Structure 1
Amino acid sequence: MVRIIENLNLSEQVTNDLGRAIVAGEYSCESGLPTEAQLCEEYGISRTAVREAVKMLAAKGLISSRPRQGISVEQPSNWNLYDTSVLSWLLDSSPSLHVLKEFLQMRLAIEPQAAALAAEFALDEDIAQIEKAVEAMRVAAVDPSASMHDADLAFHTSVLFASRNRFFFQLRDFISTALNVSIQHTTPAKANDVAVAEDHAKICTAIRNRQPERAKNLMTHLIDEAMTFIEAEIKRRS
C-alpha cells in the first residue's frame, strides 16, 4: 500500500514507501524488489522517478543496482543506520525496542563525554541554551500544554553543541531522531516529569560549574536509567 506523505516529491514518496517496506521485512535479500517496470505501474510514475528513488535507497545502503543483475536488497548489516530516514523506519518497525537498546549503548559512548567537554569548553551562550532547555522542561513538567518532549530534545542537542566537538554536533539529527522514540518509552516509565527535569538540571549545573567528571557521571546515570527501562520492557514482552 502506497503511503502518501505531504511535501515529498514522487521519487521521495517511492523512496519512503519502499524503504519502510524493506526495513519491515516485506522485501528481503531473497525476495528482492519489484522490477522497474512493476514499480512504474504500481506507483503510476515514470522510469526517471523510479530510478531516482533507487539511487536514494542505494545511498542509504538498503539496495544495490548493478547492470544485468537488477535491483538487490542489501543485508541489514549494510544499511546506513546514521541516515535519519533509515533509523526512523527501523524505530517504526516491530523490533524498535532492540534498536533503541543499541542506540542507548551508542549514547553511552558519546553523550557523557560530550557533557564533560561542555563543562570544559562551552561558551557562556552555549550554557545559556542548555539552561533554556532545562527551564522549558521544568515548565512542561507542571504544564500539560507545554512540550516536555521538545524541551528534552533541545537539552541533548544543546549539550552536543556545547561540547565544541564538531563530530559530536554532527550527530544531532541522528540523536534527535532516536530520542523522539526513546523518550516516549522512558519518560512515562519514570512517571515523574518533575524528577526527569531535575535530573537534566543537575547535568546543566555541573556544566555551568565547570565540573567535567560530575557532568559525565550524571549523564551516564541518566542514560543508564533509560537503558534499565528499555531492558525491562524487552524482557516483559519476550
Structure 2
Amino acid sequence: MEQANKDRSLVSKVMDGLVTGIVEEKYGAILPPQDVLSKEFDVSRTVMREALSMLLARDMLDVRPKIGTRIRPMSDWRMIDEDVVNWRFRAKPDPMFLRDVIEFRILIEPRAAAQAAARGGAAEIAAIREAFEAFRGIRPGESSYQAADELFHTRIVIASGNQFFRQMAAIIRGALASVNPIMSDRDGLWESALASHQRVVEAIERRDPKDAEMASLALIDSTAEELGGRFSAEPPARV
C-alpha cells in the first residue's frame, strides 16, 4: 500500500512537471521520447508511461505513429471528464436532477445560440441547418431521433466558438438523452418542439443574436414547464 501511494505521488508530480513544461512551451509541438523524459524526471518508465496516459485521457496529448507524442492545442483539452458525465446520466433521473439539468441548459444554450448567430462561420451555420433538416424528418420513437436532436444542439454549441461551451456539449447531450424519452410520448409535443427548433436555426441564419438567444430560451422553457408538470415539482428557476 505504501509503495502504491508513493507511485501515485510520483505520477502526480511527473504530470505536474510535464504540464508546466507544456504550458511554458518547453517542449515545442512534440514531447521527447519516454526514455528521455524518464531520465529528465528521474523516474521509471512505468511511472512516466502512467503520467503520459493520464494526460492522453484528458485530450492533452496525441500519439502518432512515426511522429511521436504530439501536444494538442489547449482548446482541445478536456476541462470536464466526459466519462463521469456519461456515467451520471445512466442513473434514473429524479425531479431534482432534471431541475439541475434544465438550469444548466438555460445557462449555456441560449448564450451559445446568440454567439453562433454573431460569429458562427458560414459552414458551421449550414451544418446547423443540415442537422435541423435531419431532425425534421424523424419522429420521436425512431432509432435515430435522439442522435439527430443531439447533433442539432451540439452544432450550435460548436458554432458559438467558445471552447468552454464546446466542452459542455457532453452535458447537453446527456440532458437530452434523459429528457427526450420522458417528453416524446405526449401528443402534439413533437410539432411544438419542431417549431421551436426551427425558430432557433432561422434566428441564427439571420445573424440575429438576440432572437437566437430568446428562441433557444423559449425552447428550454417549454421543456421545463412540461417536466415540472409531470413530476409535480416546481419548474426550474429562470437564471
> Considering the TM-score relative to the shorter chain, is it more than 0.5?
yes
Q: Which residue of 2 aligns with 1:193?
A: 190
Q: Which residue of 1 aligns with 2:125?
A: 127
Match among 89, 92, 104 for residue 106 of structure 1: 104
**Structure 1 length as normaliser, TM-score?**
0.59
Say which SS state the counterpart of residue 158 (structure 1) adopts.
helix
> Aligned-residue CA RMSD in angstroms?
2.6
Conservation of the 8 A alpha-carbon contact between 1:137 and 1:151: yes
Match among 166, 170, 175 for residue 169 of structure 1: 166
Counterparts of 1:72-87 in structure 2, within 5 Å, are: 83-87=81-85
Greater Cα radius of gyration, structure 1 or 2: 2
Say which SS state the counterpart of residue 164 (structure 2) adopts.
helix
Distance 1:145-1:174 versus aligned 2 partners, 3 A rule:
closer
User: 5+ residue gaps in structure 2?
Assistant: 1-49, 55-79, 234-239
* Structure 1 residues 128-167: Cα deviation after superposition (integer angstroms, max 9, x where no partner): 111011101111139x756222111111000000111111
Provide the rounded CA distance (Å) in 1 between the counterparts of 2:166 and 2:92.
29
1:212 aligns with 2:209: yes
Provide the rounded CA distance (Å) in 2 between the counterparts of 1:190 and 1:88.
29
**Structure 2 length as normaliser, TM-score?**
0.59
Letter in 2 for 1:128: A
**Cα displacement (A) at 1:94:** 4.7
| Number of residues of Structure 1 aligned to a counterpart in Structure 2 | 157
Match among 222, 231, 235 for residue 228 of structure 2: 231
Distance 1:106-1:150 versus aligned 2 partners, 3 A rule:
same
Provide the rounded CA distance (Å) in 2 between the counterparts of 1:211 and 1:116.
7
Identity level (%): 30
Conservation of the 8 A alpha-carbon contact between 1:119 and 1:207: yes
Conservation of the 8 A alpha-carbon contact between 1:98 and 1:234: no
Match among 70, 86, 97 for residue 95 of structure 2: 97
User: 5+ residue gaps in structure 1?
Assistant: 1-51, 57-81
Conservation of the 8 A alpha-carbon contact between 2:193 and 2:219: no
